Structure 1
Amino acid sequence: MLGQASVPLVGIVDTVVVGRTGDAGALAGVALGATIINLVFWSFGFLRMGLTGLTAQAHGADRQREVEALFLRGIGIGGSLGFLLLAFQIPLTSLALAVMSGGKQVSAEASAYVSARFFGAPAALAVFAITGWLLGLGRTRAALVLQIVMNASNTLLDVGLVWGAGMGAGGIGAGTAGAEWIALVTGLVICGRVAGASPLAMLKRFPKSHLLDREELAKLFAVNRDLMIRTVALLLVFTWLASSGARLGATTLAANHVLLQFISVAAFALDAFAFTAEARVGQALGAGSRPRFLRAIRLTSEFALLGGALITLSYFVFGKKVIDLMVTDPATFETAAAFLPFAALVPLLGAPSWMLDGVFIGATRGKALRNAAVLTTALYIALDLLLRPYGNWGVWIAFTATYVLRAVTLGAYLPGLLRSIKPAERLAGGASPA
């Protein structure tokens, strides 16, 4: 939970550093830019999710050679995709801003932020893979250290570039990109210690034919393909939310971005239980153990629901004080405070959907995740369009409803998953049950 709660601190630090300048336009620019980057970068979030499930299953089946191979494949694919994004940053940025324009000043700030963030793309995507690998092995303490290093670096760089050098939204983007490269170097060192050999040493002792094994790569890409579609579908929800806020003005866009930081903290904190479920479910399926599978779901879900209720209560009690610490613009504060109850309810409403994500990611059931996410996104967009006459109230009602929709659509696949569990002795040769 500590490691996961620290993940959104990158976004919170970005928001606070620029929010305390009192420039609502710059904060709105960071909000719009962060939405664009999240859509682009997290479209490749399958590197984290897919690697967690596959690593956990390989570890549960005692296939340690494949565990190391998954690490090398993950960082190789992540780094390559990141450099590809960097090469196409100009057309990607132009296209995104054309679709999600928030006005001349906001778009200019967003462009500066996005351009700087793309220089961290190779590191960011490789870190996705590293984090997924560590979580698949249950090395949560190592993942925590990695996140702490990234957050500390991001804070120092942001403060120096924005408050010190006066670089505004561009400084926020550059600071975060720099922190991602520092995190990559740290992650490679950590993984080397976990594996007992440096990444370079691992690469030397693996035949090229094994790393490029068609069957294993096909499995990796099959899982990742569905997870990518699922991730893009859910990211479209947040992109649509930002676009709806931008349509209502810079103040509303900035206020909604502040409230999203509350949701990010809750989502990542409670995802700690989902990630535990991913590893435990993957290991249970790798071992072909139905009792371990059920126990993993029950224990993690109980803790997640309790945690969600406590976070919701804390947001209702302390939320306005936190908003006051984050921004100095009065209009942004008032708007954020008015819609705080919606953000406060999300931890409780979202806990079931996040836990189900963990179960199905650990089971590498990409098709179920894909289908549920696509249906949820379609229903959300229809609901948002229907509620547009109600302004930002309609925006938040539709957005909050997505968490219930996610739980219902994905939960429908749970009985089939339970029926599919096969005893370990039927999984000859260490094959994966998923």
Structure 2
Amino acid sequence: MTDSLPRTTLTSRLFRPADRHLWQLAWPIILSNISVPLLGLVDTAVVGHLEDAVYLGAVTLGAVLFSFLYWGFGFLRMGTTGMTAQAHGRGDYDTLRTLLGQGIMLALVIGGLLLLLGSPLISLGLSLMEANEATRELAHGYASIRLWSAPAVLMNYVILGWFLGLGNSRVTLGILVLTNAINILLDLAFVPGLGMTSDGVALASVIADYCASGAGLWLVVRQLARMPGHSERAALFSLAAWGELIRVNQHLFVRTLCLLGATAYFTSQGASFGDNILAANAVLLQFVMITSYGLDGFAQAAESEVGRAVGQNDWQRFARSVGAATRFSLMTATGASVLLWLCGPLLIGLLTDLPEVRALAITYLPWMVAMPLVAVWSYLLDGIFIGATATREMRNTLVISLIAFVGLWPWLEQYGNHGLWLAFLLFTGVRSAVLAGYYFHHRRHRWC
């Protein structure tokens, strides 16, 4: 009897109700994140079996271009989640409807502008990438087709953010699984089946994105039918009603541009050391991306829970949600660091069989072991601040971190690629530290 008591206590501490609830929100998001690289692998495999490698190069360049382009408007997802979660916490169903309508309208306007301005943007983006003329020409054709998905992709951001704000992360999983399944089937139908090339991969993505937006809108209609309250059409066209949405999203937009700038700066500086180091850094960045799947899942779950707590003015729930997200995030980061420490060389070998690149990646692997333990705080705190819609602080943090990164690099350049990774680690550390400072300031004055 006495032996069972400690085990029961330990179990209750490890799996508290707040932990179980956060896990129920997080696991569909994590699975959704994992499904994204699966689609990339299928795209690569389908085009990689064509007779000329130029098609694979075109798809790769086009996909990178659109990752940057669409990621720049990721505020449509993040801002919608935080504001929706707070309105849900208040039980303000009229505002929930208004936020959804405003978000979709904003997504369609931005998507329409991208369609109008897309061609020069594509030309500019491809001109900044090193590739031969034939690859750039095919990539331009690929991107011109993919551009037609812009309204659907941005509208999907809003729909996914809205459902996450409602605490329904399984919709995210369902929509992304549907999107990727349709995309993969159409890849196989268009390329091996109909003999298309990179244009077939682009067309498959466009059709899949519109199918996803159609499914998302269907789910929205079902949710609205069950939801109390009514839609205020006047709020959709009132400038005053847009004030909070614009305030939240403008800060997130600047924040995202700074993050993209830091990634681009890291890549460009790595390229100056030669192709082998550039390739080794690309391999190591895959570990950063894989780790982010788990950390993002818990951070996005925290967005929903923190937002509801702020909306309810329930600071005990706020503290429980932050505690649960912190525990899961630290376990994930620690597990990733231990895995990379023990199995890093083996994992590198699975990603590349080039001896020079593999050797260089192993040389710089210790930076990857340290990265999750430093980066975990920035992911976690981002989720908390998005839920609290404290986006000005997120913007300021990324501006300060980017300035620190660019300012430190000339002092560390003498150490070569080790210096570059140290600068990037310090960039991540400054980001975590500044966000932590803001967090404790707000906890002392507003969050308790």
Aligned residues: 418
Q: Are 2:83 and 2:165, in contact at CA under 8 Å, matched by a contact in 1?
A: yes
Equivalent position amino acid for 1:153 in 2: I
Equivalent position amino acid for 1:9 in 2: S
- Residue from 202, 205, 211 that aligns with 1:176: 205
Identity of matched residues, % = 34
> Is 1:130 the equivalent of 2:159?
yes
Q: Are 1:39 and 1:232, in contact at CA under 8 Å, matched by a contact in 2?
A: no
Structure 1 runs not aligned, ≥5 long: 424-434
Counterparts of 1:175 and 1:381 in 2: how far apart (Å)?
39
Counterparts of 1:221 and 1:193 in 2: how far apart (Å)?
27
Counterparts of 2:423 and 2:60 in 1: how far apart (Å)?
20
Residues 115-154 of structure 1 mapped to structure 2, 5 A cutoff: 115-154=144-183
* Distance of aligned partners of 1:422 and 1:358 in 2 relative to their CA distance in 1, 3 Å threshold: closer
- Residue from 24, 28, 33 that aligns with 1:7: 33
Equivalent position amino acid for 1:408 in 2: A
Counterparts of 1:165 and 1:243 in 2: how far apart (Å)?
38
Q: Are 2:401 and 2:427, in contact at CA under 8 Å, matched by a contact in 1?
A: yes
CA displacement, residues 394-431 of structure 1 (integer Å, 9 cap, x when unaligned): 443333333212101211211232244389xxxxxxxx
Q: Which residue of 1 aligns with 2:246?
A: 221
* Distance of aligned partners of 1:25 and 1:337 in 2 relative to their CA distance in 1, 3 Å threshold: farther
Q: CA deviation at 1:353?
A: 0.6
Give the TM-score normalised by structure 2: 0.81
> Is 1:49 the equivalent of 2:78?
yes
Q: Which residue of 2 aligns with 1:312?
A: 337
Structure 1 range deviating more: 255-264 or 45-54: 255-264
Q: CA deviation at 1:229?
A: 0.7
Give the TM-score normalised by structure 1: 0.83
Equivalent position amino acid for 1:81 in 2: I
Residues 4-83 of structure 1 mapped to structure 2, 5 A cutoff: 4-7=30-33, 9-15=35-41, 17-18=43-44, 21=48, 32-83=61-112
Larger radius of gyration: 2
Q: CA deviation at 1:141?
A: 1.5
Q: Which residue of 1 aligns with 2:307?
A: 282
Q: Are 1:248 and 1:392, in contact at CA under 8 Å, matched by a contact in 2?
A: yes
Counterparts of 1:335 and 1:168 in 2: how far apart (Å)?
34
Counterparts of 1:248 and 1:106 in 2: how far apart (Å)?
24
Counterparts of 1:133 and 1:80 in 2: how far apart (Å)?
18
Counterparts of 2:55 and 2:417 in 1: how far apart (Å)?
21
Residues 363-378 of structure 1 mapped to structure 2, 5 A cutoff: 363-378=388-403
What is the CA RMSD across the aligned residues, in angstroms?
A: 3.3
* Helix, strand or coil at the partner of 2:72: helix
* Distance of aligned partners of 1:332 and 1:184 in 2 relative to their CA distance in 1, 3 Å threshold: farther
* Distance of aligned partners of 1:316 and 1:170 in 2 relative to their CA distance in 1, 3 Å threshold: farther
Q: Are 1:280 and 1:362, in contact at CA under 8 Å, matched by a contact in 2?
A: yes
* Helix, strand or coil at the partner of 1:139: coil
CA displacement, residues 302-353 of structure 1 (integer Å, 9 cap, x when unaligned): 1111111112333444555555555666666565555455445433321111
CA displacement, residues 103-128 of structure 1 (integer Å, 9 cap, x when unaligned): 55664565455334322211111111
Equivalent position amino acid for 2:40 in 1: D
* Helix, strand or coil at the partner of 1:88: helix
Q: Which residue of 2 aligns with 1:191?
A: 220
Equivalent position amino acid for 1:243 in 2: S
Equivalent position amino acid for 1:14 in 2: G
> Is 1:99 the equivalent of 2:128?
yes
